[in-house]
Amino acid sequence: MSKESALIRAAEKETGRIEAFSDGVFAVAITLLAFNLQVPKLGDAATPGQLALALARQWPEYLGFVTSFFTVLIMWVNHHGVFRLVQKTNARLLFVNGYLLMMTAAVPFSTSLVTQYLQSSAAKAACAAYGGVFVLISLGYSALWHVVTRDRTLMKAGVSETTIERISRSWRWGPPVYVAATVGAFVSPYVTIAICTILWVHWSIVAKEF
Amino acid sequence: MSKESALIRAAEKETGRIEAFSDGVFAVAITLLAFNLQVPKLGDAATPGQLALALARQWPEYLGFVTSFFTVLIMWVNHHGVFRLVQKTNARLLFVNGYLLMMTAAVPFSTSLVTQYLQSSAAKAACAAYGGVFVLISLGYSALWHVVTRDRTLMKAGVSETTIERISRSWRWGPPVYVAATVGAFVSPYVTIAICTILWVHWSIVAKEF
Amino acid sequence: MSKESALIRAAEKETGRIEAFSDGVFAVAITLLAFNLQVPKLGDAATPGQLALALARQWPEYLGFVTSFFTVLIMWVNHHGVFRLVQKTNARLLFVNGYLLMMTAAVPFSTSLVTQYLQSSAAKAACAAYGGVFVLISLGYSALWHVVTRDRTLMKAGVSETTIERISRSWRWGPPVYVAATVGAFVSPYVTIAICTILWVHWSIVAKEF
Amino acid sequence: MSKESALIRAAEKETGRIEAFSDGVFAVAITLLAFNLQVPKLGDAATPGQLALALARQWPEYLGFVTSFFTVLIMWVNHHGVFRLVQKTNARLLFVNGYLLMMTAAVPFSTSLVTQYLQSSAAKAACAAYGGVFVLISLGYSALWHVVTRDRTLMKAGVSETTIERISRSWRWGPPVYVAATVGAFVSPYVTIAICTILWVHWSIVAKEF
């Protein structure tokens, strides 16, 4: 094995483990979203129709689950998209990545807020908090991208300026859109849900490559 | 390292991370199924016989756990079977895969519905919901297979038409059988459990290769 | 890349994913053991001394956590030990492995039984169930080893008969010892705990290699 | 493939799986920290202002979450730092690593103690227990490092004495600082939080490499 390929292997291993750890956190957080789905507590005398109705009535749980699941999925895709360009890590990158993972781990909590309060009079505060967590996450992605592009030795050789420009341009939209989703909660909690839904539907229809 | 093998490595890495993430979701979801197993709440004065009886009485929990565990295991094997043939991903594949993982994450919820209502008068609705989740999952697998076979550039070179035909043929049965399991719930909730059990037992006995 | 090394890569990838999935289940199950540790529910007026005492009094939780954690760890090491010798999988191996993972996922449940009933009059039944789960797991390992040794094409070339003999010999002890731990519960629940503790302490002191 | 590179592959695979398993435990434990974040239980008649206030009042939950998240993240980085130097494992290393993972899995529990008791009169005992868990973890890291440096055949060839010395020196501080955090709880529970916070902030600002 040549010295060079040994170096490549070592470098790959380095980002490999940070990716594996991040994948683990994303996978646990996204699966735990399903814990917001709660079995209705009806007595043993409930009819099938009553159970069906109770299941239908907890539609905010399904809405929150689907919205958060696909939003976290897009985050994971973006995370993956950045780390495909990265060949080594430094302390700053680990720290920013840690911040991102921490906020991602908090998404089941903010989702639970929405599903429990969407049909209550406090829905606006719950949806604002939900949007606020995504603002903090999108700022984290901007910081991650800043760290990676500032120190080009972190990047794999051969990543073109065009690729970097393209990502920079598309990520510019994250923070302002999620700020709109947060502020929009005070108009109606459904504005927050609508913006988040449009974002992931848009992504899954429009995106040609990733 | 030649250019070609570098390309292969890169491509492998791409599907590698989507597989690692999917494995994470499958592993978390399948392990969380055990959270439907609940410790009986007897007082400190309970005798060993009473605890043994209480444990025996919650047999629907064990039945639901085993049925769902092996069903999700087969899903994982099928997922693995598709991705062994795939060499790169696109946005559509990521989206369909995300949908599959989302529904898989919901299996502990639908299992919990069954274990909590199997001995109640609402059992039919619970089992129909349980079957319904598997219908949605099997449709997701059909969609995944459709995406992979429609754009052959996603597939590894050298995958034979025979292999593709064989998988297409065997997967054709998923949706109708799970529809039968869902509709069958209205005859008796045990029809749903029986069909799901027959499916995984059949797989583990008959399957010669995978 | 030569044809041979391509084949090796492909084979490695196959067992690689079953190992990754298994590791995921082991990692989730072993971490969830910590969920048996419960924060004492004292009022806001409790003194530090009262909290310390309440924490000390829930020693069965710590005992169950440590015993199960190291027992599952040894299982993982043994799992790892088998798969290091395996080069490809078949349906039977996947099935037996699935059974093992299912029973492993149930260990937090059986541990919770012990920690909640160890100081009650039903302790014997709880410890018998705890031991019984390990009997079922050790039988699973015997089955796994049987599947792997029966079809030698599953094994990597160059695994010596001595290695196979050594593992066969050392694994012979698992089922009878755990049966003793189960039956011993009816003498005293601490017999079960003692046997399980001796097993993992013995392993961590005596084992020279693995 | 030469014999030597085959040996390297095999050795890499060995530590690869212990790292993957450890990453899994770290990822699950760190994500489960978010389960200390609880949705306030207000009635359906609560106003947005009341929900916002209730969320603000549970700041100890956020503080505990952030402190523990970054502390576990640093542990993971250190774990990664050691295993980058390791080429093979033995039973002792597996055992010490298991102990570390077990204590890491207990961090959500000790964090929960702090968040539930920080504003109560028993806060000192909760913070002492929180610090105590980190003392046990830092002693585990010392033991891990001792195992790895005592038997140099576990280390990759070419790890310089300077690297070993540097790590030995920097890790010397872990146990005494966490003992100070534990004992400091009896002065004020905020001493514990402050020391743990300073540690992770210090790391993320000062650390140039890892």
User: Over the stretch A3-30, which tens digit does the pLDDT of each residue have?
Assistant: 444 444 444 456 888 888 999 999 999 9
pLDDT at C3 over 60: no
pLDDT at C105 over 50: yes
pLDDT at A134 over 90: yes
pLDDT at A9: 47
Instruction: Return the partners of chain B (3 or more C-beta pairs < 8 Å).
Output: A, C
Determine phi and psi for D160, rounding to 5 degrees. Answer: -80, 155
Q: Where are the alpha helices (DSSP H) in chain D?
A: 3-32, 48-57, 59-83, 91-105, 107-117, 123-150, 161-171, 174-184, 189-206
For residue C186, the SS3 value is coil
pLDDT at B151: 83
Please check whether residue A76 is in contact with residue B21, taking contact to mean a CB–CB distance below 8 angstroms.
yes
**Which residues 6+ apart lie within 8 Å of D120 measured at CB?**
C42, C43, C44, C45, C46, D126
Question: In this complex, do B210 and C25 lie within 8 Å of one another by their Cβ atoms?
Answer: no
- The shortest CB-CB distance from A39 to any of B32, B105, B113 is to B113
Distances (CA, A) of A135 to A179, B80, B93, D31, D53: 6, 35, 27, 20, 20
pLDDT digits over C110-136, tens only? 999 999 999 889 999 999 999 999 999
For residue C86, the SS3 value is strand
DSSP chain B: --HHHHHHHHHHHHHHHHHHHHHHHHHHHHHHGGGG-------TT--HHHHHHHHHHTHHHHHHHHHHHHHHHHHHHHHHHHHTTB----HHHHHHHHHHHHHHHTHHHHHHHHHHHTTSTTHHHHHHHHHHHHHHHHHHHHHHHHHHHHSGGGBPTT--HHHHHHHHHHHTTHHHHHHHHHHHTTT-HHHHHHHHHHHHHHHHHH-S--
Encoded amino acid at D196, one letter: C
Encoded amino acid at A39, one letter: V
Please check whether residue A127 is in contact with residue A192, taking contact to mean a CB–CB distance below 8 angstroms.
yes
Please check whether residue D151 is in contact with residue D167, taking contact to mean a CB–CB distance below 8 angstroms.
no
| Best of C18, C21, C36 to mutate (most B CBs within 10 Å, chain B) | C21
Residues of C with CB under 8 A from a CB of D: 4-5, 8, 19-20, 23-24, 26-28, 30-35, 37, 39, 42-52, 55, 65-66, 69-70, 73, 76-77, 80, 84, 203-204, 207-210
- The shortest CB-CB distance from A1 to any of D5, D47, D51 is to D5
Instruction: Return the partners of chain C (3 or more C-beta pairs < 8 Å).
Output: B, D
The Cα D142–Cα D48 span in angstroms is 49
pLDDT at A138 over 50: yes
Shortest CA gap C133–chain D (Å):
21
At D97, list the tokens: 């690593």
pLDDT at C140 over 80: yes
| Best of C12, C30, C170, C205 to mutate (most D CBs within 10 Å, chain D) | C30
Question: In this complex, do B125 and A48 lie within 8 Å of one another by their Cβ atoms?
Answer: yes
Please check whether residue D210 is in contact with residue D163, taking contact to mean a CB–CB distance below 8 angstroms.
no
- The shortest CB-CB distance from C24 to any of B24, B44, B210 is to B24
pLDDT at D167 over 90: no
Question: In this complex, do C32 and D28 lie within 8 Å of one another by their Cβ atoms?
Answer: yes
**Which residues 6+ apart lie within 8 Å of A41 measured at CB?**
none
B142 burial type by CB count under 10 A (0-12 exposed, 13-18 middle, 19+ buried): middle
| Best of C2, C13, C31 to mutate (most D CBs within 10 Å, chain D) | C31
Question: In this complex, do B69 and C105 lie within 8 Å of one another by their Cβ atoms?
Answer: yes
**Which residues of chain D lie closer than 8 angstroms to A28, CB-CB?**
27-28, 31-32
Average pLDDT along chain D: 86
- The shortest CB-CB distance from A70 to any of B91, B98, B128 is to B98
- The shortest CB-CB distance from B70 to any of C98, C122, C129 is to C98
Task: Determine the residue of chain C that is closest to B33 in CA distance.
Answer: C105
The Cα D25–Cα D21 span in angstroms is 6
Task: Determine the residue of chain D that is closest to A13 in CA distance.
Answer: D84
- The shortest CB-CB distance from D112 to any of C26, C39, C45 is to C39
Closest alpha carbon to A189 in A115, A105, A137, A139: A115
Average the pLDDT over D91-108 and give the result: 93
pLDDT at C15: 80
Identify the bridge partners of residue B155 per DSSP, sorted by sequence position. Answer: B86
The model's confidence at residue B4, banded by pLDDT at 50, 70 and 90, is very low
- The shortest CB-CB distance from A98 to any of D37, D47, D73 is to D73
pLDDT at B207: 60
pLDDT at C172: 83
Please check whether residue B192 is in contact with residue B131, taking contact to mean a CB–CB distance below 8 angstroms.
yes
pLDDT at A159 over 90: no
**Which residues 6+ apart lie within 8 Å of A94 measured at CB?**
A18, D73, D77, D210
Question: In this complex, do C124 and B209 lie within 8 Å of one another by their Cβ atoms?
Answer: no
pLDDT at A5: 44
- The shortest CB-CB distance from C112 to any of B24, B26, B39 is to B39
B166 burial type by CB count under 10 A (0-12 exposed, 13-18 middle, 19+ buried): exposed
**Which residues 6+ apart lie within 8 Å of C77 measured at CB?**
C210, D94
The Cα A137–Cα B120 span in angstroms is 44
Question: In this complex, do D51 and A125 lie within 8 Å of one another by their Cβ atoms?
Answer: yes
Residues of C with CB under 8 A from a CB of B: 1, 13-14, 17-18, 20-21, 23-25, 27-29, 32, 89-92, 94-95, 98, 101-102, 105-106, 108-109, 112-113, 116-117, 119-126, 128-129
The model's confidence at residue C150, banded by pLDDT at 50, 70 and 90, is confident
pLDDT digits over B143-192, tens only? 999 999 888 888 888 788 888 888 888 888 889 999 999 999 999 999 99
pLDDT digits over A53-79, tens only? 999 999 988 999 999 999 999 899 889
pLDDT at D140 over 90: yes
Shortest CA gap A120–chain B (Å):
24
Tell me how many degrees the CA angle D121-C34-D204 measures, rounded to the nearest 5: 75
Please check whether residue B36 is in contact with residue B111, taking contact to mean a CB–CB distance below 8 angstroms.
yes
Closest alpha carbon to B72 in B34, B107, B36, B24: B107
Determine phi and psi for C62, rounding to 5 degrees. Answer: -70, -45
Average the pLDDT over B188-206 and give the result: 87
pLDDT at D80 over 90: no
The Cα A118–Cα D181 span in angstroms is 41
Contacts 24+ apart (CB under 8 A), B54-57: B55/C113, B55/C125, B55/C129
Predicted complex: ipTM over 0.90:
no
Average the pLDDT over C157-167 and give the result: 83
Average the pLDDT over C88-109 and give the result: 91
Identify the bridge partners of residue D86 per DSSP, sorted by sequence position. Answer: D155
At C112, list the tokens: 């919770």
Question: In this complex, do C98 and B69 lie within 8 Å of one another by their Cβ atoms?
Answer: yes
pLDDT at A210 over 50: no
Task: Determine the residue of chain B that is closest to C108 in CA distance.
Answer: B34
pLDDT above 90: percentage of residues in chain B: 52
The model's confidence at residue D172, banded by pLDDT at 50, 70 and 90, is confident
What DSSP character marks residue C208? S
The Cα C18–Cα C20 span in angstroms is 5
Q: How many CB pairs under 8 A join A and B?
A: 106
What DSSP character marks residue C156? P
For D120-157, give the secondary structure using H, E and C: CCCHHHHHHHHHHHHHHHHHHHHHHHHHHHHCHHHECC
**Which residues of chain D lie closer than 8 angstroms to C46, CB-CB?**
117, 120-122
Question: In this complex, do D210 and A94 lie within 8 Å of one another by their Cβ atoms?
Answer: yes
Average pLDDT along chain B: 86
Identify the bridge partners of residue A86 per DSSP, sorted by sequence position. Answer: A155
**Which residues of chain A lie closer than 8 angstroms to B32, CB-CB?**
31, 35
Question: In this complex, do B210 and C90 lie within 8 Å of one another by their Cβ atoms?
Answer: yes
The model's confidence at residue A206, banded by pLDDT at 50, 70 and 90, is low
**Which residues of chain B lie closer than 8 angstroms to A6, CB-CB?**
none
Distances (CA, A) of A159 to A13, A150, A152, B17, C186: 19, 14, 10, 20, 67
pLDDT at D11 over 50: no
Identify the bridge partners of residue C86 per DSSP, sorted by sequence position. Answer: C155
pLDDT at C183 over 90: yes
Residue the block writes with tokens 């994470």: B24
The Cα B138–Cα B75 span in angstroms is 9
Number of alpha carbons in the 13 Å side-chain half-sphere of residue A2: 5
| Angular region, D158: left φ>0, alpha ψ -120 to 50, beta rest | left
Task: Determine the residue of chain B that is closest to C36 in CA distance.
Answer: B39
Shortest CA gap A154–chain D (Å):
12
**Which residues of chain C lie closer than 8 angstroms to B73, CB-CB?**
94, 98, 101
Residues of D with CB under 8 A from a CB of C: 1, 13-14, 17-18, 20-21, 23-25, 27-29, 32, 89-92, 94-95, 98, 101-102, 105-106, 108-109, 112-113, 116-117, 119-126, 128-129
Task: Determine the residue of chain A that is closest to B1 in CA distance.
Answer: A5
Residue A97 CB: number of other CB atoms within 10 A?
24
| Angular region, B88: left φ>0, alpha ψ -120 to 50, beta rest | beta
pLDDT at C53: 92
The Cα A102–Cα A81 span in angstroms is 19
pLDDT at B6 over 50: no
The Cα B6–Cα A8 span in angstroms is 11
Question: In this complex, do A116 and D204 lie within 8 Å of one another by their Cβ atoms?
Answer: no
Please check whether residue A92 is in contact with residue A145, taking contact to mean a CB–CB distance below 8 angstroms.
no
Closest alpha carbon to B75 in B137, B168, B21, B32: B137
pLDDT at B70: 94
Question: In this complex, do B69 and C129 lie within 8 Å of one another by their Cβ atoms?
Answer: no
| Angular region, C2: left φ>0, alpha ψ -120 to 50, beta rest | beta
| Best of D14, D15, D23 to mutate (most A CBs within 10 Å, chain A) | D23
Please check whether residue A67 is in contact with residue A44, taking contact to mean a CB–CB distance below 8 angstroms.
no
At D197, list the tokens: 């916070």
- The shortest CB-CB distance from A37 to any of B95, B109, B123 is to B109
Average the pLDDT over D138-162 and give the result: 87
The Cα B42–Cα A21 span in angstroms is 40
Can you say how many angstroms the Cα of residue A100 is from the centroid of all Cα atoms in its chain? Answer: 9
Question: In this complex, do A29 and D24 lie within 8 Å of one another by their Cβ atoms?
Answer: no
**Which residues 6+ apart lie within 8 Å of A72 measured at CB?**
A26, A29, A30, A33, A104, A107
At B167, list the tokens: 């998988």
Identify the bridge partners of residue D155 per DSSP, sorted by sequence position. Answer: D86
For chain A, give the secondary structure using H, E and C: CCHHHHHHHHHHHHHHHHHHHHHHHHHHHHHHHHHHCCCCCCCCCCCHHHHHHHHHHCHHHHHHHHHHHHHHHHHHHHHHHHHCCECCCCHHHHHHHHHHHHHHHCHHHHHHHHHHHCCCCCHHHHHHHHHHHHHHHHHHHHHHHHHHHHCHHHECCCCCHHHHHHHHHHHCCHHHHHHHHHHHCCCCHHHHHHHHHHHHHHHHHHCCCC
